[in-house]
Amino acid sequence: MVQTDFAFLLQAIAWPLALLIAWVAGEWLLERWHVPRVTSYVAVGLIGGLINLPGLTTDIPGLPFLANVALALVLFELGYRMNLRWFRHNPWVLVLGVVESLATFGVVYWVSGWFALPVDHRLIIASLSISASPAGVLRVANELRSTGQATERVLHLCAINCLMSVLALKLVVAYWTLSTSGDIVLAAFNSVHVVGTSIAVGGLLGVAVSWMLRLRGAHERGVTVVFALAVVLLTTAAYGLMLSPLLAALTFGIVARERRVHLSSAQRDFGTAGDMLSVFLFVYIASLLTWTDVTHTFVLGVVLILARTVTKVLCNLAAARLSGISERKGVLTGLALTPMSAFAILLIEQTRLYGFEPAVQVLAALAGMMLLQELFGPVVTQRSLMAANETHVTKE
């Protein structure tokens, strides 16, 4: 009886306990060894999964939705920091983002053919590999107070990568649907409809919220609260309409920026609530990985990471002078795009929830790659931005 009560108590407090430990570890390791906070959060989630902590590794309704809200807030901020006029003045950045995405897809698809993977799995892995993790990149950049040529380029390329990754995955889903069911209408619904409607909903909300804020004249704190609530509304609506909340949130942020609504740097990360959701997001993502899958796919993960990283670095190096930066900063930009796990895992999880059967097998095949990317990707981004001399961290 006592053991049963203790097990129930442990299961009930598993998530609050894990989040508290993750936050403490993040602050301590950042101060002592300059380890990015998100890496510490991931480590706690991985350890919780390793010891099979009751309550942390069980399927709890509502957690995927909460994780999508957390990532949608990050994508909104990433979209808000995008400057579309920059693409008009320097179209090479846009061209680089598209070419690098296509090159990454092709190289990863080719390299994954060295392993015994079905074609549809290789297509999905290549689509996910295009993306860079907005949560990892943006959190590290904000943590370092990083600003400058390389930082802005990394953020813009990250947004382009995410958009291209969603588009590629939706095309793969449409191809799979058409090949398995022969239903061209269903295939179009799973690709064109989802992408187009997600962008339209995010854009319309961006216009409506911006108009409301200008009409009411909200102060800085009020603007942040309104945007946060709008992102929650957008995520809920996307779930109900079977759309992509991540793509809708990115579009929402871009439109809000273009509508000239002010969101100061003091309100980045959405304050304390955003910090809590960030801790939860990375612990949750890490808890989805199983160590059995990690050990079985570790070699595959290392090979795919090398292929993806080399492709991004070479593309940025080749376009460095054309797009207005030095070769050194081009290399650092490519390295800073190393993280990909949070966005990729939630994207494939959403696809699974919408009835895409290969998603479960693909997530297992990517376990080794995701573990390495989650743990070390933010560190690579941190060191790259520091090497670019664009960080402005001061002792408080």
Is 134 inside any structural domain?
yes
Is 115 inside any structural domain?
yes
Mean pLDDT of 117-135: 93
Q: Is the pTM of this model over 0.75?
A: yes
User: What's the confidence (pLDDT) of residue 19?
Assistant: 93
Is 52 inside any structural domain?
no
Confidence band for 396, pLDDT divided at 50, 70 and 90: very low
Mean pLDDT of 227-256: 91
Give the C-alpha separation, 275 to 15, whole Å: 16
Question: Which of 167-171, 184-188, 222-226 bottoms out in mean pLDDT, i.e. has the lowest?
Answer: 184-188
Domain hosting 297: range is 61-387
Is 51 inside any structural domain?
no
Is 296 inside any structural domain?
yes
Compute how many other C-beta atoms are within 10 angstroms of the C-beta atom of residue 44.
25
Give the C-alpha separation, 143 to 278, whole Å: 12
Looking up residue 189, the CATH number of its domain turns out to be 1.20.1530.20
Give the C-alpha separation, 126 to 83, whole Å: 28
Please tell me which residue, 310 or 262, carries the higher pLDDT value. 310
Percent of the chain with pLDDT over 90: 53
Is 226 inside any structural domain?
yes
User: What's the confidence (pLDDT) of residue 185?
Assistant: 64
Give the C-alpha separation, 153 to 155, whole Å: 5
Mean pLDDT of 271-295: 88
Q: How long is the chain?
A: 396
Q: Is 337 helix (H, G, I), strand (E, B) or coil?
A: coil
Residue found under tokens 């292929």: 307
Is 239 inside any structural domain?
yes
**Domains of the chain: total:** 1
pLDDT at 365 over 80: yes
Alpha carbon distances (Å) from 163 to 129, 175, 196, 244, 270: 12, 19, 12, 11, 23
Q: Is 388 helix (H, G, I), strand (E, B) or coil?
A: coil
Q: Which residues contact 192 (CB under 8 A, 6 or more apart)?
A: 170, 174
Is 295 inside any structural domain?
yes
The two structure tokens encoding residue 261: 């609504």
Closest C-alpha among 276, 292, 396, 281 to residue 342 = 281
